[in-house]
Each structure stands twice: as structure tokens, then as C-alpha cells.
Structure 1
């Protein structure tokens, strides 16, 4: 059903840094939407190339649609929040400058959000090679039922960490608590965790609406050591907010921390052969146990809970067993082989 909108319904924020090669494609895709009630807020994050010139050209040509914020380089976290401050829409979405969207992206996302009164609306996407355009995979393109985190909090665990395949109620984001030390990686995960305590409804479009570009160097899943400390610090800050304002969600938070620290981070670290993985894994495990201790006894990782809830998060339950049996390094070796040689990835 087509919905007639009044004024700006959706603000799409596009953070830009060294984006001169591909930002035009991104903006063209947003300008070709099947509805008109959207605005495009481009935040130039101190790009040293000609990105700002391209953005200003679009702003001059499409002054009714495109707005440009030019700021010094402070990273994507602050770029997004500056865009949020300027957003006029009832909903806010984020698209990376090197990605682009399907023509019905805004219409389907808005219709779904409005029909379900969803705080977060999620769409599917396809991973594409930046150089060849070959589609590696299509993900989250199967329709799922909308859910309330209050009634089914475990569903939050399975939401992918990216913000670029979602739109959010603007009021939700504008009232979001922030942290003093956002990380330079995993910003999306931290951002979403800050929102979860106030989320009342999550909905899915079941449609593939975004083309996510994979660069040649994207396969290098390494993390700098200083960035690990940033992640610890950021997640600890967010947990403190939960401890003060959402104590009933602490077990859920620690479960999500296990997913990202115990599995995702360790996987990325395992790809760097120069690191002393044994000592780093030990430290990572110590941080998990000290800062996020509820993961060990989390009801969301119990067999009985998994069975009762239709085998929800069963892969994470298996990983908990592997982790506790000290089989993580062997598993990660097999996992890397599956990804690199067999082109098989596991979606947690």
C-alpha cells in the first residue's frame, strides 16, 4: 500500500570521508526514490580529497533534498550524531557513502515502520564486490515477524550489528544517551546497544534494499591492539548505563558482549598471525568475566531456554560450549578455512 506523506518523513544521513570515487552513486540512488518525502544529510568528515566539492554540487542542484554539513575530521560516530541533530524526519536512516540503495528503499522501509509502529525497522541487503559488482551473498531477505523486546528480548541478540540496513524513530535516537569514549571500530554495535533499553517494537521488511560494497581489503579482519582497549572501554560505559537505567537487561547485555567479544573479536584477532593470540585470548576472556560476568549464567544461553523459544540463538549456545571447553582456537581455524576456502560464512 502506498502511503502519502507530509513534509519530511525520513532523514537519510550519509557520513563521508574520502568518498569522491563513489559518493555520487550513493546520492543518485537516494535521489531516485519512489517517494519524495525524504531528505539527504551529507556529513563531510574533513575529507582531504574532493568529496566536499561533489557534495556542494549536489546541494546546489538539489537544494530541496540535499543538505551538506562540513566539519573537521572526528570519525563516523560524531559525523552521524551531527547529522541526527540536523534531521527533520520522523525516522532516521544511515547509508555509508560507498553503498547505494534500491529505488523503493525509502518507501518500503517507511511503510513497514509505520504499519508496525516500529522503533527499529530492518531490511535485507546484498554484499557486492566493489570492483566487479559480483554479488557474494543476499542476507536478511526473508520476512520475519515483528517483535517486542519486552516479550522476546532474546531476539535482540540475533539482530545484525550494522546501522546502515535500518531506520530508527527520530525521537528514539535524539533521546539516546551517549558515551564519552566511542570506539573507532564497532561504532554500529555500540550505537544499537545504547538504543535497546527504549525499543518497544522491531520490524523487518523482508526485502533486499541495500547494496553493501565489499572492498578488496575488507577480507583483512585484523584489529589494532589500541582498538581492543577502545572496545572494552566503550562496552563498559554502555553497561554502566544499563546498570543504572535497565537492570533487567543486564543479562541480555552480557550475552551480547559474549557474542561480540568472545566470538567476533577473537575471530578478527585470529586472522593476524603476528599477534600472541594465547595471551590476547586470555586477556579477552578475563575482561569478559570481570566486566560482563552474567554471560556465563545467562538464561539466553541455556539449553532449556533455547528449546522453549524455538531453538533461538542455537549457534551461540553451541559456541558457548566450545568456548567453555577451550576449543575456540581450533574452531576459529576451521571457521577461517570455511570462509577463505569454501566461501561459507556463519551468520550469528
Structure 2
């Protein structure tokens, strides 16, 4: 497909040699022509740069390879934004994959005032084998779209969306480089504050791979960065989007705190869970979750964190750290 709007795909990579070639193959198989691929090697110590250089040499697409000292994924993505020349920008991690129709379906439906996103699946075979006739388009009002993301009716993250480079530049929207977890949500919420409506590509066009070496699997107190990130977006969206700002304060902050509590359980860290509950978790967090249509299991979890975190801990340990109706936190 020939698309008049140029799209830049930004791919940050750090020690990504295991899956990187598969990632790049999925980019090469895109049905659109007018694509710029920006590859940032963030100080890798394995064969990542060699794989990127080889891809640039053989690819039929416009490819830019940037090599920098290890400064983290946010800095790498921001470097990509700075060097992008596409009218629109998408992001892909160096161990994930995208459907051949990923760019085509996003670019067909995008404009500067509409947030267009697909959703992700952990079933990579499902993503690659998806047929075009099974891809549906769902138009949502702005507030409905915000609720759709926050209540996790689909696995929607910034990876699956397309962003106007003009909007990013005009409002200086970047990934916060002081956060190691939750930086992606800051970017997404801040961008969403400038949108007017929402289009969902209702099919899993992005394949998310669970990699044990990623930041979300590490035992670290920095998981609380996710809470700080929500607070960043609350400050940013103040006076920009009344509805989004209200929902971030009234629900998403509490929901993120609950996800942090779950993380400490997954890391078998009862001491951090208890300290977190004393320092961060408030009664109003429980009531915020109680008011939303977010599922009975989530509400029970919030209740247990409020009343008896030990039971919350042992129930999740028994279920291997997972709620039955939660896909990703």
C-alpha cells in the first residue's frame, strides 16, 4: 500500500540480540511503503548493533541507526523522536513484533485530533497470522475512549498507537527520563490530553513479548515510579483536559497504586508491601476503585490491601501473583 503520510517507527534496543531479527522482520513485512525506521542502540554489550547495521544494509526501507551510551529507554525513544522526519510516529520495542497490517490500519484512520490505537496480545502467533478481514474499526467518543483504556477493556498501551509529530513538537511531549517504570503511561496520557476523539483498531496488531530481564521483572523499589508518573500526568493535564485530569486523580492513581502492591507480591517482598501500604495507600484509594466499574476481583483486592494486606499477599502468592481478570498491570 502506498501511503502519502510518512511514518517513523522508533525502535529502542538494549542487549536485544535474542529477538531483534524477528522484530525487524515484522517491520520489513509492513504493507505500507512510506516508512522510516529509526533504530537506537542504547549502549548494548551484545550483537545488537551488528544486527542493526546488517538490517540497514539489506533493508529496502529508509533506515537510520543511532548508537549512544546507555541512558535508558526513555532517552533512546526521545532521541528517536528528535531524529524522526515522518508526519506520524509509532514505537516498537526491540523484542516485540507487529502485524503486517499494523502501520496500514493506523495511518488509514489517523488525524491530528484523533487518538488511534490497536491493542496488544502476548500470543505472537495470533498477531502474525491475523487476517485483514478480521480487523474491525471502532469509533469512540473522547470520554468513552479514556474509560476504555483505564478500565482495560482491551490491552491498550502507547506501543499500539500512532502519534502526530507536529503535536509532539508543539507541546514538547517526551518520555520522562527520570522514571524507569511508568514513563510510557506519562507519554500516552499527556498526548491524549490534546485529542478530541478516539478510534480503536479492534484487533491485536501488536505482539508483546514477556522478557524476564525487563525492568518490570526486576526486584526494585523503583516500581513506585509508576505512581510518580501518574502524578506527572495529573499536573500536565490540569486545565488541558478536565475529564482526563479528573479520571487520573479519581481512579488511575489508585489503580496504579494497586498495581504496585501486586508487583511487590510478585517479587515475594512482603516487607515492601507493608511499608508501601503504610506510606502510600489511603482509604480514599479504596473508595476510588469501589466507585468504578472495574471488576469485582479488583475491588476485592483493593479491599484486602486496605484492611488486611497479609491476606492479599497470600491469595496472590497462591495464584502465582495474578488476578484472574487482569491482563497486565
Instruction: Report TM bin, short chain.
Output: 0.7 to 0.9
Identify which of 248, 262, 265 aligns with 1:267.
262
CA contact (8 A) 1:118 1:202 kept: yes
CA contact (8 A) 1:125 1:165 kept: no
CA deviation after TM superposition for structure 1 residue 77, in Å: 0.8
- Number of aligned residues: 318
Q: Which residue of 2 aligns with 1:29?
A: 26
Q: Which residue of 2 aligns with 1:120?
A: 116
Which secondary structure state, in structure 2, belongs to the residue aligned with residue 194 of structure 1?
A: helix
TM-score, normalised to structure 2's length? 0.80
Identify which of 296, 299, 302 aligns with 1:318.
299
Q: 1:151 to 1:31 in 2, by over 3 A?
A: closer
Alpha-carbon separation, structure 2, partners of 1:338 and 1:30: 37
CA deviation after TM superposition for structure 1 residue 95, in Å: 0.9
Question: Residue 162 in 1 paired to residue 142 in 2?
Answer: no
Alpha-carbon separation, structure 2, partners of 1:111 and 1:245: 27
Question: Residue 197 in 1 paired to residue 190 in 2?
Answer: no
Q: 1:248 to 1:167 in 2, by over 3 A?
A: closer
**Deviations along 1:88-126, whole A, 9 cap, x unmatched?**
223211111111222222222322436x97323223423
Which secondary structure state, in structure 2, belongs to the residue aligned with residue 285 of structure 1?
A: coil
CA deviation after TM superposition for structure 1 residue 151, in Å: 6.2
Give the unaligned 5+ runs of structure 1: 307-311
Written as runs of structure 1 = structure 2, the 5 A alignment for 1:1-348 is: 4-6=2-4, 8=6, 10-62=7-59, 64-113=61-110, 118-127=114-123, 145-150=138-143, 153-159=146-152, 160=155, 162-174=157-169, 175-178=171-174, 182-216=178-212, 221=217, 223-225=219-221, 227-228=222-223, 230-243=225-238, 245-254=240-249, 255-261=251-257, 263-276=258-271, 277-285=273-281, 302=291, 312-315=293-296, 318-319=299-300, 322=303, 326-327=307-308, 329-339=310-320, 344-347=324-327
Alpha-carbon separation, structure 1, partners of 2:167 and 2:247: 20
CA deviation after TM superposition for structure 1 residue 144, in Å: 6.9
CA contact (8 A) 1:44 1:71 kept: yes
Q: 1:53 to 1:151 in 2, by over 3 A?
A: closer
The alignment yields a C-alpha RMSD, in angstroms, of 3.6
